[in-house]
Chains A and B, each alone.
Chain A
Amino acid sequence: MGPEGAGRLMVKFWHDAVEFLPILLNGVALTIIVTIGSLVLSTILGMVWALMRVSGIGLLAGLSAALINVIRGIPIIVLLFYLYFVMPDLGVTLTALQAAILGLGIAYSAYQAENFRAGIEAIDKGQIEAAQAIGMGWWLTMRRVVLPQAVRIVLPPYGNVMIMMLKDSSQASTITVAELALQGKLIASSTFKNTSVFTMVALMYLTMSIPLILLVRHFEKRAGRP
């Protein structure tokens, strides 16, 4: 392919890009909804598992450890199939979007929990003793002393989880959520313009990832400071 051919390809790409952009942007909107929804859910659940794990109450800690291992041991896609295809048999019908957010949120809660636990356990024991010595109970110690310090440790890996979740939101396509990857696949299979469409899809994921990558770098710099 000479320079002329490459030029023609570029022109074709721009032409396709303008044509497909509105449809793909619909996909982007759903991708963002799935990512944010499952991020919020996984953060809340992960926090609950982590606090159970460090509660010092054997039953809660054991339950949390077991839950985390079960969740970690099931592929995300199977979790999604289970929520979307099996739950209706048990009388719980979820929309595809609900199932996607729930599935990804549960799947990632295990990783969030381990990250949060590592942050909590990294706090100097002297901090906890100082809190106890002024009469703080377990929850007050967590809320006022441990968690505010753990946040700095937890944020860089948390940012990485955000990037992974953005990309893994594409798995929602397997249960018919028309997010970016599925929109791309639908356009490509009806127009056969695979190169243009999937290049655009890749660029759009990358565009969404870059702010998150910069955010992680910011977190890492901050965590390094005393």
Chain B
Amino acid sequence: MIELTGVRKSFGHTAVLKGITASVEKGEVVCIIGPSGSGKSTILRCINGLESYDSGDIRVKGAKVDRDAASIVAIRTQVSMVFQRFNLFPHRTALENVIEGPLFVKQEPRAMALERGRALLAQVGLADKADARPQQLSGGQQQRVAIARALAMQPEAILFDEPTSALDPELVGDVLAVMRKLADDGMTMLVVTHEMGFARDVADRVLFIDGGIIVEQGPAPAMLNQPQHPRTQDFLRRVLHPL
């Protein structure tokens, strides 16, 4: 469903992605782990065209991702994104955030968008917060609204860019629970995360990225429990046993 072939990307003289080849199948949950600055987020941002890439090929359902082509709009409505810092629209209520895309991008009838928007807020446990503004919500609630906003586009896949990294620890669980439910329902998900518990329990596959390349990848529990590459072993030891 999402295919990357030899993707390279530099910011100025700094090579961030040095030939990434990977794919995500329909219904699959793939977690990307790795140290910060390793290019994890850049991969997601290239897939929905928030960043351009220098060479290689990215395809979503066979269509080439080119951020300067008109086709990027169709790709973005098929592949939603959830951001680390939520990026909800502060001047709109939770419900308005959710229906913004359906109303103005997909031009759905208002009644239909509203009905589905309310259902989606209920799905992420925020039925009673429809009229709240983002600044009245906790970080965890904001991120769940952001997930509802992503789902409102009825995407084929969702990209999660460190969705719990900006949250207070006690709020992480609610967001992960919503994501776990999505995975159980068969949503295709590509998740950049530091939550190793989530990766182990929910992911089908894990990619370990360091220095702009995929160092190691494999089925989730096996790879996290018995990493083969010394860099993966070192990273996991630091993350799981920081003291």
Residues 126-158 of chain A, each 1 if its beta carbon lies under 8 Å from chain B, else 0: 110111111111001000110011000000000
Q: Is the CB of A135 within 8 A of B91?
A: no
Contact A136-B48, Cβ < 8 Å, known A126-B83, A127-B87, A127-B89: no
B76 to chain A, nearest CB (A): 4
Residues 173-214 of chain A, each 1 if its beta carbon lies under 8 Å from chain B, else 0: 000000000000000000000000000000000000000000
Contact residue among A134, A149, A226 (Cβ-Cβ distance under 8 Å from B80): A134
Interface residue? B144 (CB, 8 A): no
A130: which B residues are within 8 A, CB to CB?
83, 87-89
Contact residue among A124, A132, A144 (Cβ-Cβ distance under 8 Å from B100): A144
Interface residue? B211 (CB, 8 A): no
Contact residue among A124, A127, A137, A226 (Cβ-Cβ distance under 8 Å from B73): A137
Interface residue? B19 (CB, 8 A): no
In the bound assembly, the distance between CA atoms of A135 and B103 in angstroms comes to 12
Q: Is the CB of A145 within 8 A of B50?
A: no
In the bound assembly, the distance between CA atoms of A136 and B153 in angstroms comes to 12
In the bound assembly, the distance between CA atoms of A140 and B105 in angstroms comes to 8
In the bound assembly, the distance between CA atoms of A108 and B91 in angstroms comes to 29
B89: which A residues are within 8 A, CB to CB?
127, 130-131, 145, 149
Q: Is the CB of B83 within 8 A of A134?
A: no
A137: which B residues are within 8 A, CB to CB?
73
Contact residue among A124, A135, A140 (Cβ-Cβ distance under 8 Å from B77): A135
With CB as the reference atom, state the residue of chain A lying closest to B88.
A130
Residues 24-42 of chain B, each 1 if its beta carbon lies under 8 Å from chain A, else 0: 0000000000000000000
* Tier of interface size on chain B: 20 to 34
Interface residue? B104 (CB, 8 A): yes
A-B contact count (CB 8 A): 55
Q: Which of A127, A130, A148, A226 has the most chain B CB atoms inside 10 A of its CB?
A: A130
Interface residue? B56 (CB, 8 A): no
Residues 181-203 of chain B, each 1 if its beta carbon lies under 8 Å from chain A, else 0: 00000000000000000000000
In the bound assembly, the distance between CA atoms of A149 and B87 in angstroms comes to 13
Q: Is the CB of A140 within 8 A of B104?
A: yes
Q: Is the CB of A134 within 8 A of B87?
A: no
Q: Is the CB of A133 within 8 A of B90?
A: no
B115 to chain A, nearest CB (A): 19
Interface residue? B175 (CB, 8 A): no
Q: Is the CB of B48 within 8 A of A133?
A: yes
Interface residue? B8 (CB, 8 A): no
Interface residue? B118 (CB, 8 A): no
Q: Which of B74, B87, B101, B150 has the most chain A CB atoms inside 10 A of its CB?
A: B87
Q: Is the CB of A129 within 8 A of B50?
A: yes
A152 to chain B, nearest CB (A): 8
Interface residue? B149 (CB, 8 A): yes
Q: Which of B74, B77, B83, B91 has the most chain A CB atoms inside 10 A of its CB?
A: B91
Q: Is the CB of B105 within 8 A of A129?
A: no
In the bound assembly, the distance between CA atoms of A36 and B90 in angstroms comes to 32
Sample of 6 more A-B contacts, CB < 8 Å, known A133-B50, A133-B81, A134-B153: A126-B83, A127-B87, A129-B83, A132-B49, A133-B76, A134-B80
Can you list 8 pairs linking A and B with CB atoms under 8 Å apart? A127-B87, A130-B83, A132-B49, A133-B81, A135-B101, A135-B106, A140-B105, A226-B90
